[in-house]
Structure 1
Amino acid sequence: MGEAVMTTRRQADGAIVVDVRGTLDAATVDALREALLSTLHAQRPVTMIVDLTFVTFMDSMGVGALVTGYNVARETGTRFVLRNPSEFVHRQLRVTGLAEMFGLPASHDSPQHYTP
């Protein structure tokens, strides 16, 4: 099982950013889910950004935690944004049919996102 580190910070524009590093799997998704939900309920930000730049692996449980965060954000009126998913993470979201729900493009070929 993997390890993940999550940090939360507020941007100058008031958006809350949850930076996620490592792997999102059975061993780590509870911490991500708790970080997302507690922040949404306690701070009720206008926008929550989940930065996935340094997520190296994500399984279906990781996808589920992001969907839970997305749904709770909608309930609280918060815009939920995924930022910089790696090619692996983006592919997981495409395969599950969720890339569009998260506002991600259908492909991950954009040079600013993908480096071979």
Structure 2
Amino acid sequence: MGEVAMGEAVITTRRQADGSMVVDVRGSLDSATVEPLREALLETMQRDRPTMMVVDLTYVTFMDSVGISALVAGQRAARDIGVGFQLRNPSEFVHRQLRVTGLTELLGLTGTRHFGI
């Protein structure tokens, strides 16, 4: 559906046949790149009202607390309008960041791979 460059990161959104929207994120999620992601998540949910919002983190190389905050904002917005929200394919680093903060379940990562710390 669209691609947005966010400095060192790129996001692409696409609708799947089942009505869900997939947001593919590539690069680093930090203070320099995260605001366009937050806006894309919120605008896509408001405009398209998908059945599920899936954020694919396969190619996210780094994420700090600001990136985590954007994902939590997306999850809250989805909950408020009745849209499912799920993260998919986090790298070991990203998964660890979310697990340390206690957010894996909130962000739909229960039952995913576990990494030793």
Q: Under a length normalisation based on structure 1, what TM-score does the superposition of the two structures give?
A: 0.88
* Structure 1 runs not aligned, ≥5 long: none
RMSD over aligned Cα atoms: 1.6
Equivalence for 1:25: 30
Q: Secondary structure at the match of 2:50?
A: coil
Matching of residue 77 in structure 1 with residue 82 in structure 2 = yes
- Equivalent positions of 1:25-44 (< 5 A) are 25-44=30-49
Query: Runs ≥4 in structure 1, deviation > 4 angstroms?
Result: none
Matching of residue 103 in structure 1 with residue 111 in structure 2 = no
Equivalence for 1:52: 57
Matching of residue 88 in structure 1 with residue 93 in structure 2 = yes
**In structure 2, how many angstroms separate the alpha carbons of the residues matched to 1:106 and 1:72?**
23
**Do the aligned partners of 1:52 and 1:82 also contact (CA within 8 Å) in 2?**
yes
**In structure 1, how many angstroms separate the alpha carbons of the residues matched to 2:58 and 2:91?**
6
**In structure 2, how many angstroms separate the alpha carbons of the residues matched to 1:18 and 1:107?**
18
The structure richer in strand per residue is 2
Question: What is the aligned length?
Answer: 109
Q: Under a length normalisation based on structure 2, what TM-score does the superposition of the two structures give?
A: 0.88
Query: Which amino acid in the other structure matches residue 82 of structure 2?
Result: G
